[in-house]
Amino acid sequence: MMSSRLIIVVARFFPDSYGGAERQALILAEALGQIGYNVTIVAPTLDPKAPAVEDTAFGRIERFHVKTPPSNGGRHILSFLAWTFWFKRRFSEPQYQGIPIYVFHARLHALGPALATRQSKSPLLIKLGGGGESFDFKALQEKRFFYGRWIQRILLRQTRLFVANGIQIADDLKGLGVAPEKVAIFPNGVVLPKLEFVEAALRKRVGTRFIYTGRIHLDKRVHVLCEAATALLTQGDDVSLVLLGDGPARQDLDDRFGSGSDFKGITFPGYAAEIYPHILAADFFVSASLREGQSNALLEAMSAGTIPIVCAASGVTDVIKDGVTGFIVENSEGASFEKEMRRALALSDDERYAMSRAAYAFAEENVGIHAVARKTADHLRKLTMTLDDQVETNKPTDADHVVAPLGLQQSLSLSDPSIRAVE
């Protein structure tokens, strides 16, 4: 039974958050919609004004209102339980049987989709968010209470396909015993600006403008970029650094390095709905984050021919060849970024143009969202082509049952026959 429908699940979505996973889910849904898929994006929301159902060109967006993010767990476990129970009940209904569910990131919010696909006999796909220190399952293992590892076991057993955006994530999955045939490796996708727009931007570039796009958060180590730019400005270099985005650390960093400092070369313009005009106007994209998957902001920069200068986080070496398509910084420290930014400033016009075109060429060939949508659709077809046979042959047996702690099973009111309680 072939399906041209898909359910995408994210831990948060607009208007709660404007991060990389949210943008990735949206542009993938739009691209799949253009090739005939009907896509439903499902997410929890903390915003009481956010509509529960929103019709879109690609399908619809469904939101479930909670008081705290379900993926937080811990003392916020009631929101996690409410989300999990709602999702399982909502998407295990008969009309969703056989429709693939594609979850972005293997965190607590993925339990509801796993239980729903178990009951509805639908394929479950999970797109991992990061590798190494940022590996999704590492975060589950480190949960203080029992449920993290229990949920990990369910996700590993129930998931039909893991999508890894780099070799590091694939290796981490292999370390958990995931068979190679259950792992698909392909990068995140971006909307490519037209080459003529990129060429026009390249002709206007001067080789001194740096930009960061993303959340202004301590985890992103944005202060490192500010320290490096301040060091260059202190030494008389005529450079500028734009930090585009919003977040809890923005005001403090602006006071220290931007409007409250002696230098006027560092600015915090805030959130922008359209980032490409800003990226196209810059020469170099910088990121000091160590806790990234394959950064969407990095791929967007490369697709604009903006040369990346980034830390060697998970997925970076899969897309950047140092000195060819960008610069890789080994340490997330101000002095290290100052050194690489100075290396970038020393490029001649011809060298800078060649590197910009190499970055764009990589993005055009590998990470255009339409190419990623086609790869996603290919895997969905493979998973759904044999669904009817698998429904008959994969009926649950005692060996397939996942043991759930009694308290959690009672809290969820689970009726799934594949989950049984243990005292």
DSSP string, 207-234: S-EEEEES---GGGTHHHHHHHHHHHHH
Low-confidence ranges of the chain (pLDDT < 50): 1-2, 391-423
**Among 347, 366, 385, residue at a domain's last position:** 366
What pLDDT digit, counting tens, does each position of 348-380 carry? Answer: 999 999 999 999 999 988 889 998 999 999 999
- The pLDDT, as a whole number, for residue 106 is 95
Cis peptide before 15 (omega within 30 of 0): yes
pTM (2 d.p.): 0.77
Same domain as 169, residue 144: yes
Same domain as 166, residue 239: no
- For 259, the domain range is 195-366
Same domain as 327, residue 260: yes
Same domain as 409, residue 390: yes
- What domain count does the chain have? 2
Same domain as 281, residue 174: no
Same domain as 107, residue 161: yes
Same domain as 359, residue 242: yes
Same domain as 332, residue 247: yes
- The pLDDT, as a whole number, for residue 383 is 92
- The pLDDT, as a whole number, for residue 365 is 87
Cα 75 from Cα 69, distance rounded (Å) = 11
